[in-house]
Amino acid sequence: MLILGIETSCDETAAAVIENGRTIRSNIISSQVLVHAEYGGVVPEVASRQHLATVVKVVRQALRDAETSAGQLDGIAATCGPGLVGPLLVGLEMGKSLAYAIGKPVVGVNHLRGHLAAVYLDHPQNPPPPPFPHIALLVSGGHTSLFRVEGQASTTLLGATRDDAAGEAFDKVAKLLGLGYPGGVVIDRLAADGDPHALRFPRALPGREDLDFSFSGLKTAVATWLASQGRPPEDELADFCASFQAAVVDVLVRKARRALAREGLRDLVVCGGVAANRGLRQALAAAANEDRFTLYVPTSKLCTDNAAMIALAGTWAIQRGERGTLDLSVDPGLPLA
């Protein structure tokens, strides 16, 4: 069973082919980082135009790398939300048009469902896939949530950010520091050589026992510190980044451990772009060793936005008998129902 996935929810144009719901035959990602870097963030209209210019090339390359043709596909999956409405429309309309042309089914895939599925894709470092049910920490530039995952299409939201996502906080702080875009990767690299105890930044919602997150206060605390103290000199920048990153990571790890304990589960999946953060991975690995739970994290390429995860979630949807129609549309605020 060959399924083509198309992902255009933000600033990456991606296409992938997976076989039998496990093996990645191709996974092409065309990044727009250089295009948006001069603006310090993603400009939706610019992103839409870039997707239009590259989506056909990316799909063709995915088919070539998979050594297959469009006519040999068994179905097409395209992200339909959440995300930026213009970019979403480009990918979904491409998927619908191709599916109509070859007479194969098309399904719209929730972007978050794709992230939750990524850990089930085949790659050399993969342990056996996590069992159901398990806890999933989905942490990215637009989302920070904890889910109880009962099955391929069954999830319960346990907690979510009340304001900014963790990835957004990374990028905004990096911008305040003049580290460029995307800044989360730069902060992670600098933090590796810094002292996380050099500065004490606030941890959000310290007195609450819920599973919600908040990062706007931390972002404000960093901005206030920089306004009064100025940008740290180069020899202190690593300590600053390590201290900020520790404030984010501590909260993520604490809430994930709490979710596992409350739900009585021993398996944790961490997904989304921030799951590629080395500081977070190390802290979660230490927590897993201490609490004796099993940690599952996709490879870095499968953490960030990609089409292989969309193809897998689409495979599951098609196997369940789901089918999209030509009036299938996008929803930029699509919930994970």
CATH number of the structural domain spanning residue 93: 3.30.420.40
Tokens of 19: 């076989």
Rg (CA), the chain: 20
- Say whether both 175 and 285 belong to one domain: yes
- Say whether both 173 and 98 belong to one domain: no
State pLDDT tens for residues 10-53.
999 999 999 999 999 999 999 998 899 888 889 999 999 999 99
- Say whether both 30 and 6 belong to one domain: yes
Do 7 and 306 touch, CB atoms closer than 8 A?
yes
What is the 3-state composition of the chain as percent helix, strand, coil, each rounded to the nearest 5? 45, 20, 35
Residue 23 domain-assigned (yes or no): yes
Q: How far is CA 297 from CA 35, 65, 309, in A?
A: 29, 25, 13
DSSP string, 79-113: EEESS-HHHHHHHHHHHHHHHHHHT--EEEEEHHH
- Say whether both 140 and 287 belong to one domain: yes
- Say whether both 265 and 139 belong to one domain: yes
Domain count, the chain: 2
Residue 280 domain-assigned (yes or no): yes
- Say whether both 143 and 291 belong to one domain: yes
Residue 124 domain-assigned (yes or no): no
Do 84 and 332 touch, CB atoms closer than 8 A?
yes
- Say whether both 155 and 217 belong to one domain: yes
- Quote the pLDDT of residue 128: 78
Residue 336 domain-assigned (yes or no): no
Query: What is the four-CA torsion angle of 296, 256, 41, 30, rounded to 10 degrees?
Result: 10
- Say whether both 228 and 313 belong to one domain: no
- What proportion of the chain, given as a percentage, has pLDDT over 70? 98
Do 136 and 263 touch, CB atoms closer than 8 A?
no
- Say whether both 143 and 252 belong to one domain: yes
93 vs 205, more confident: 93
- Say whether both 150 and 267 belong to one domain: yes
- Quote the pLDDT of residue 10: 95
With bands split at pLDDT 50, 70 and 90, how would you rate the model's confidence at 277? very high
State pLDDT tens for residues 104-160.
999 999 999 999 999 999 765 556 789 999 999 999 989 999 999 999 999 999 999
Please tell me whether the overall predicted TM-score, pTM, comes out greater than 0.85 for this model: yes
Q: Which uninterrupted H or E stretch holds 19? A: strand 12-19
Q: Average pLDDT in the 170-185 region?
A: 92
Enclosing domain of residue 164: 131-297
